[in-house]
Amino acid sequence: MERGVALLSGGIDSPVAIHLMKERLEVIAVHFHQLPLTGPEELEKVKELVKKLEISKLYLIPFAEVLKMLVEKCNHRDYYILSKILMFKTAELIAEKEKAKYLITGENLAQVSSQTLSNLKAITKNIRLEIFRPVLTFDKQEIINLAKKIGTYDISKGPEICSLLGPKNPSTKSDLDKITKELDKLDLNKIIQESLNKAEVVKY
């Protein structure tokens, strides 16, 4: 079976996306955590989701320093687009190591203000691997219903912490050239590799 690397946030959407892909691909999960800005409960929640989804391998990537760097050096309104690109680029390196051909995400069109068509396009254009977005066109209630059915809803529900450093008014219409210029402000290879070097790999 071919492999895919899935971004697992701990929210409601990404576990459902993983569930939908599990029969088609062997899934390796990656979670980008914000310790020490958050507490250990963030990791416990993600580990519980991985067990429930019966995923055999989880990468826990420290990303707080990367996100702080985005806030300091880049246009804050583009925070969600840029942070997602950096997460995908890191996941691509994990995919290369794990011989995986695809990336998987729980992104859902326009459900979150930053997940607009132009923003998703800006993210996708910066990534080499194919990205599967299985819940892209689901409405929120459909995702919640499926999460309850597969047993991830009660684990996932509760306050989201991915927006800890994010802007109140994120960009909803992005320009590809502008995003490229923002990325050029960062030493991408260095900051991604530094995070990967500190990764914890959990096997089940």
Question: What is the DSSP track for 32-72?
Answer: EE-TTTS-THHHHHHHHHHHHHT-SEEEEEE-HHHHHHHHH
The percentage of the chain sitting over the pLDDT mark of 90, rounded to a whole number, equals 79
Phi-psi region of 161 (alpha: psi -120 to 50; beta: other; left: phi over 0): alpha
Whether 162 has a pLDDT exceeding 70, the answer reads no
Residue ranges per structural domain of the chain:
3-203
Phi and psi of 81, rounded to 5°?
-65, -50
Q: Helix, strand, or coil here: 174?
A: coil
Residues 111-161 pLDDT 10s:
676 789 999 999 999 999 999 999 999 999 999 999 999 999 999 986 566
- Decide if pLDDT at 195 tops 80: yes
- Reported in sequence order, the residue ranges of 115-171 that DSSP labels E, i.e. its strands, are 130-132
- The two three-digit tokens of residue 190, written as one number: 């260095």
CATH topology of domain 3-203: Rossmann fold (3.40.50)
- The tokens for 3 are 């492999």
**Residue 147: per-residue pLDDT:** 98
d(CA 131, CA 36): 30
C-alpha 92/C-alpha 154 separation (Å) is 30
pLDDT the model gives residue 190: 93
Structure tokens at 112: 């979150």
Dihedral pair phi/psi, residue 38, rounded to 5° = -115, 175
Per residue in 30-73, pLDDT (tens digit) is 999 999 888 888 899 999 999 999 999 999 999 999 999 999 99
Quote the pLDDT of residue 38: 86
